[in-house]
Every structure is written in C-alpha cells, then in structure tokens.
C-alpha cells in the first residue's frame, strides 16, 4: 500500500486537517467561476475530491459534478451528498474515467505529485486531457514549491481533538516530505506525506506537454498574478 492510500484513508488525516478554511475555498471557486466565465450546467470533474467539499459547492452553484478519489472511506462519506447531478466514485486519477465528456476538470489543494515515478504524474494530466471536451478547461491548484522550500518549518506540533501531532518536514530527493507522529488511545502511529517539489515553470511545461494551452496563471485563491518568491499557490488553467 502506498503512503497516500494509507494516509488519506485514515480518519486521522481528516482530524489533522479539519480546520481548512471552507470560506476561502468557496471564495476561490466563486471568483474562478466568474473569472473564467464557467457556464452553469456544465459537466465538471473534481479530481481527487477527498470528502467532496469542492464537489458539493460546485454542484450548489449549478454544475453537474462527478467527484472521484482513491480513498474508499472519503467516497463513502461523500456519497451522502449525492443527487441527480452530483455523484462520487472510487477512481485512480492516473486512469481515464470518460473521454471527451467534461467541460471542466478541477484538481485542487495540491492533489497531485504524489507518485514515485514521474511518468505517473504525466499520466494524470494525460487522463485529464482525454476526459475534457475540445475547448474544455483544466484547473490545477498546487503549492508554490519554491516558497514552501524557502520558508520550510522543519518541525511543528499541532493539537487537534486532543491528539498531539508531531510533524517533521524535509526536502528529500526532489520531494517535500512530512513525517507525522502521534499517539491515540494508547497506540503510537507514524504516517508519511511525500509530494514532488514541482516548480511553477515545470508545472507549466507539464501541462503543455500533455497538450494544454495555459491560459491563466494565478498565485493565490484571490486570483492575484503568480509571483515566484511571494505567491502561496501555483494555480494554472489549461484549455484543451
């Protein structure tokens, strides 16, 4: 089992990250919809959707949404929100789901770059390209690796729901890694995260190699222009 299959399917992943800013996520999607003139009623794929927070919000804004994730536990949770225009499936984003089907595909909150083999990241982009209708848009939201590395907090402690998480970060063989240690109910746990330190220019090149024309580049959830040393995010929009 890979680190992401084990960690993302664990209840502790959702405990550690329970305080993610929902208002900021909704603000981001609202402004993205307006900025890109996304047509309500369009078919959207939320790629690596987790428990479905972005999928649910996009559906409420009038889109027909499919959410997919490798985590069976997350999809099981998300299915409580399903309706006639919102559905969830367990799916590996390295594989094609449908061909020439979606108007929009979203890959949000650094849900990319997990894989040991570089070619597998290209498989994700190729599958996204195949899944879009001609003229469709792919939105990828990734960390700004340069800023993360430049300002890396090597060790920190977070207490969530009475659990003390000891988090250690490093840059190892081209990956930004986390080791997450904690104890709960008398049992010690160790989980890992490992995300490839893909820089802005590399990500642009990867989208272009997959066939996309990069139409927009943003540096944060307020859609400010990307600045390599200052931006928190690398948000790219590619057109098929």
Secondary structure (DSSP) of 174-226: TEEEEEEEEEETTEEEEEEEEEE---HHHHHHHHHHHTPEEEEEESSTT-PBP
Confidence of residue 21 (pLDDT cuts 50, 70, 90): low
Residues 92, 16 within the same domain = yes
Residue range 49-62: mean pLDDT, rounded: 94
Handedness of CA 193, 219, 26, 104 (dihedral sign): negative
* Average pLDDT along the chain: 95
> pLDDT tens digit string along 195-216?
999 999 999 999 999 999 999 9
Q: In this structure, are 100 and 206 located in the same domain? A: yes
Phi (first) and psi of residue 110, to 5 degrees: 50, 55
pLDDT tens per residue across span 126-153: 999 999 999 999 999 999 999 999 999 9
Instruction: Please list, residue by residue across 109-133, b when 16 or more beta carbons sit within 10 angstroms of its beta carbon and e when fewer do.
Output: bbbbbbbeeeeebebbbbbbbbbbe
Whether residues 29 and 80 share a domain: the answer is yes
Interval 106-117 mean pLDDT: 93
Would the pLDDT of 22 be above 80?
no
Closest CA to 58 of 72, 75, 71, 41: 41
Say if residues 65 and 59 touch (Cβ distance below 8 Å).
yes
Same domain, 232 and 114: yes
* Residues 114 and 167 reside in one and the same domain: no
- Does one domain contain both 38 and 69? yes
Tally of domains within the chain? 2
What is the C-alpha separation between 162 and 150, in angstroms, rounded? 31
Separation CA 56–CA 25 (nearest Å): 12
Q: What are the tens digits of pLDDT across the range 162-200? A: 999 999 999 999 999 999 999 999 999 999 999 999 999
Q: Give residue 208's pLDDT.
A: 98
For residues 129 and 216, membership in a common domain is answered with yes
pLDDT of residue 115: 92
Please list, in sequence order, all residues whose beta carbon lies within 8 angstroms of the beta carbon of residue 84, skipping any fewer than 6 positions away: none
Residues 128 and 162 in one domain: no
Span 77-93, pLDDT tens digits: 999 999 999 999 999 99
Residues 108 and 176 in one domain: no
**Domain region containing 8:** 3-143+198-239
Domain co-membership, 54 together with 67: yes
| Confidence (pTM) | 0.94
Q: What is the structure's pLDDT at 23?
A: 77
pLDDT at residue 25, rounded to an integer: 80
User: Do 183 and 234 fall within a single domain?
Assistant: no
Among 176, 193, 210, the domain-final residue is 193
Domain match, 122 and 211 both: yes
Q: Which of 135, 136, 8, 149 is nearest to 72 (CA)?
A: 8
Q: Most distant CA pair in the chain: distance in Å? A: 54
Assign 49 a pLDDT band (cuts: 50, 70, 90).
very high
pLDDT, residue 17, reads: 86
């Amino acid at each position: 089992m890979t680190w992401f299959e084990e960690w993302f399917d664990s209840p502790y992943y959702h405990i550690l990250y329970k305080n993610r800013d929902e208002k900021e996520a909704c603000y981001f999607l609202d402004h993205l919809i307006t900025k890109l003139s996304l047509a309500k009623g369009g078919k959207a794929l939320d790629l690596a959707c987790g428990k479905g927070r972005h999928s649910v919000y996009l559906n409420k804004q009038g889109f027909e949404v499919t959410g997919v994730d490798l985590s069976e536990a997350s999809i099981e949770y998300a299915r409580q929100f399903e309706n006639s225009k919102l559905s969830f499936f367990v799916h590996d984003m390295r594989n094609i789901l449908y061909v020439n089907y979606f108007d929009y595909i979203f890959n949000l909150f650094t849900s990319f770059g997990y894989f040991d083999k570089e070619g597998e990241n290209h498989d994700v982009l190729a599958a996204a390209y195949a899944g879009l209708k001609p003229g469709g848009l792919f939105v990828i939201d990734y960390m700004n690796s340069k800023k993360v590395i430049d300002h890396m907090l090597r060790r920190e402690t977070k207490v969530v729901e009475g659990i003390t998480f000891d988090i250690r970060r490093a840059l190892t063989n081209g990956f930004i890694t986390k080791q997450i240690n904690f104890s709960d109910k008398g049992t010690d746990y160790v989980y890992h995260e490992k995300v490839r330190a893909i820089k802005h220019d590399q990500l642009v090149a990867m989208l272009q190699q997959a066939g996309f024309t990069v139409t927009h580049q943003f540096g944060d959830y307020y859609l400010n222009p990307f600045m390599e040393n200052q931006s928190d995010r690398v948000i790219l929009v590619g057109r098929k």
